[in-house]
């Protein structure tokens, strides 16, 4: 990817071809060949980060932050491998603005999450805060600040995870030196089992009947019986993705498309989906591309509208309405198919399914109580009745030596004396 050149007087330079096809040069000055080789490896890592959009190695981040002086950093910036240090030292708010500006392809919902993070960081640290002054103690104080403002645990964890990502970028650009102040803080979202809800088939039938049109009925069916994420996957579905002949549906997944091989998945055209799909297909004008053509406006709040439909059906709106329908479907399918198959259909991992999707339902208890233990039924003699006994251990309650007294088992004390050696 890069090569070492030598000028007159022994000066070294690193040459490489940029992503746009132009030749770039980073002049190192009078350095040894060993030093030039080290620079070449680091520059190749930076090239991969710029061209491939991947995160550079940790040792390169440390080298960039601690070992590269301002002169050499400016030379790297001049060829587009890093951001100029003068640009990123404008303060926390300005740095976040520059960070978001560098990501034009960021999805709208993700951008809103980052804007919320900016608000919470600026509320506590200030718009012009020098990011180099934020250490571990300051990061913990920011978390305590969010607790005091009433933020939920998972919301704070998401903010901390994004703040960690932000500071990782600042380290890479040479603004922050040393350890990421958010590195040791909990950022993994935990499942809230209290918000899980199993959406029964009879209830979703009432909801579908209450829907205002066939497209709404299909959106509900796709979520409850297809396990699609709504609105992202539902609105991304095209008629070209639906194969009625082979009973397959290709589900585009905007949420996971940045992972290699996860841009879409194939699910069966479950029987519960065929009629709603046919109904909408029959109504669609010739040449229609999208399966759902209505409710695509940027500010359509499907969550609020869905709540109204649920209430119209005579039901109480359950928590996380769309997610719990998807989780209900995964729970149902896990009763019939291997978990690796179900996860492929739903589009998540086993760990995520176990933590956030699979539910313990009343039906599991009912089934466990109703089904007899076949092994116990086949070997009743192995399970003698429990007696009301107050006799030494080892003395028979039935058979030789036992004495019947008013229907209760007792024992012959002369034949089986007590051996209370521990008393």
Residue pLDDT, tens place only, 322-381: 999 999 999 999 999 999 999 999 988 888 777 777 877 777 788 788 766 665 555 555
How far is the C-alpha of 294 from the C-alpha of 296, rounded, in Å?
5
- Beta carbons within 10 angstroms of residue 245's beta carbon: 6
Residue 327: φ, ψ to 5°: -65, -40
Report pLDDT for 90.
53
Contacts of 104 (CB under 8 A, 6+ apart): none
Q: Give all strands (DSSP E) within 253-303, no chain letters.
A: 264-268
How far is the C-alpha of 25 from the C-alpha of 134, rounded, in Å?
35
How far is the C-alpha of 73 from the C-alpha of 65, rounded, in Å?
9
Contacts of 192 (CB under 8 A, 6+ apart): 154
Q: Which domains does the chain have, with CATH numbers?
A: 2-82 (no CATH), 107-172 (no CATH), 194-366 (1.10.443.10), 387-423 (no CATH)
When computed from its CA atoms, the radius of gyration of the chain, rounded to whole angstroms, is 33
How confident is residue 236, by pLDDT bands cut at 50, 70 and 90?
Answer: very high
Q: Which residues pair with 251 in a beta bridge?
A: 265
Q: What is the mean pLDDT of residues 146-165?
A: 93
Report pLDDT for 220.
97
How confident is residue 392, by pLDDT bands cut at 50, 70 and 90?
Answer: low
pLDDT exceeds 60 at position 410: no
| 174 vs 270 pLDDT, higher one | 270
Report pLDDT for 54.
62
Helix and strand totals (H; E) in the chain: 18, 8
pLDDT exceeds 70 at position 408: no
Q: Which helix (H) or strand (E) holds 375?
A: helix 374-378
Q: Give all strands (DSSP E) within 156-306, no chain letters.
A: 242-243, 248-252, 264-268
Report pLDDT for 179.
86
Contacts of 158 (CB under 8 A, 6+ apart): 113, 187, 189
The tokens for 305 are 């509208």
| 50 vs 217 pLDDT, higher one | 217
Check if the beta carbon of residue 236 is closer than 8 Å to that of residue 347: no
How confident is residue 404, by pLDDT bands cut at 50, 70 and 90?
Answer: very low
pTM: 0.55
Contacts of 88 (CB under 8 A, 6+ apart): 95, 98, 170, 173, 174, 175
Residue 372: φ, ψ to 5°: -75, 155
Q: What is the pLDDT of residues 266-298, one digit of tens each?
A: 999 999 999 999 999 999 999 999 999 988 876
Report pLDDT for 56.
72
Average pLDDT score over the chain: 83
How far is the C-alpha of 94 from the C-alpha of 96, rounded, in Å?
5
Residue 2: φ, ψ to 5°: -135, 160
| 46 vs 239 pLDDT, higher one | 239
| 143 vs 256 pLDDT, higher one | 143
- Beta carbons within 10 angstroms of residue 124's beta carbon: 18
How confident is residue 106, by pLDDT bands cut at 50, 70 and 90?
Answer: confident
Q: What is the mean pLDDT of residues 6-16?
A: 85
| 230 vs 255 pLDDT, higher one | 230
Report pLDDT for 421.
42
According to DSSP, the β-strands at 242-243 and 23-29 are unpaired
How far is the C-alpha of 346 from the C-alpha of 266, rounded, in Å?
9
Lowest mean pLDDT among 60-69, 83-92, 306-315: 83-92
Check if the beta carbon of residue 216 is closer than 8 Å to that of residue 337: no
Report pLDDT for 389.
47
The tokens for 168 are 């990782």
Q: Specify which of 12-16, 72-76, 146-150, 401-405 reaches the highest per-range mean pLDDT.
A: 146-150
């Amino acid at each position: 990817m890069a090569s070492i050149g030598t000028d007159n007087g022994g000066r070294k330079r690193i040459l490489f071809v940029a992503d746009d096809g132009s030749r770039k040069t980073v002049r190192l000055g009078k350095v040894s060949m060993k030093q030039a080789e080290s620079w070449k490896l680091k520059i190749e890592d930076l090239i991969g980060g710029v061209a491939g959009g991947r995160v550079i190695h940790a040792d390169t981040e440390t080298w960039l932050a601690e070992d590269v002086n301002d002169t050499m950093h400016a030379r790297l910036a001049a060829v587009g491998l890093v951001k100029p240090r003068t640009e990123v030292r404008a303060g926390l708010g300005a740095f976040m603005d520059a960070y978001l500006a560098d990501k034009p392809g960021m999805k709208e919902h993700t951008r809103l999450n980052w804007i919320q993070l900016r608000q919470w960081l600026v509320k506590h640290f200030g718009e012009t805060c020098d990011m180099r002054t934020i250490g571990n103690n300051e990061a913990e104080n920011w978390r305590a600040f969010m607790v005091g403002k009433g933020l939920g645990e998972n919301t704070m964890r998401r903010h901390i995870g994004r703040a960690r990502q932000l500071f990782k970028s600042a380290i890479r650009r040479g603004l922050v030196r040393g350890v990421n102040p958010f590195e040791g803080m909990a950022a993994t979202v935990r499942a809230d089992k209290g918000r899980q809800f199993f959406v029964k088939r009879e209830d979703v039938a009432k909801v579908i009947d209450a829907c205002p049109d066939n497209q709404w009925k299909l959106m509900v069916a796709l979520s409850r019986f297809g396990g699609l994420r709504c609105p992202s996957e539902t609105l991304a579905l095209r008629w070209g993705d639906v194969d009625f002949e082979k009973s397959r549906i290709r589900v585009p997944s905007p949420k996971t498309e940045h992972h290699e091989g996860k841009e879409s998945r194939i699910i069966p055209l479950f029987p519960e989906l065929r009629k709603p799909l046919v109904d909408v297909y029959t109504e669609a004008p010739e040449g229609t591309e999208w399966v759902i053509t209505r409710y695509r406006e940027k500010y359509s709040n499907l969550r609020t509208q869905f709540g109204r439909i649920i209430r119209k059906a005579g039901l109480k709106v359950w928590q996380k309405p769309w997610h719990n329908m998807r989780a209900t479907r995964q729970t149902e399918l896990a009763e019939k198919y291997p978990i690796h198959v179900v996860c492929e259909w739903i589009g998540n991992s086993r760990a995520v399914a176990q933590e956030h999707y699979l539910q313990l339902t009343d039906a599991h208890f009912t089934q466990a109580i109703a089904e007899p233990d076949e092994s116990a039924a086949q070997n009743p003699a192995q399970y003698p009745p429990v007696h009301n006994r107050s006799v030494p251990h080892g003395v028979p309650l039935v058979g030789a030596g036992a004495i019947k007294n008013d229907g209760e088992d007792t024992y012959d004390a002369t034949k089986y004396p007590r051996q209370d050696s521990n008393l």
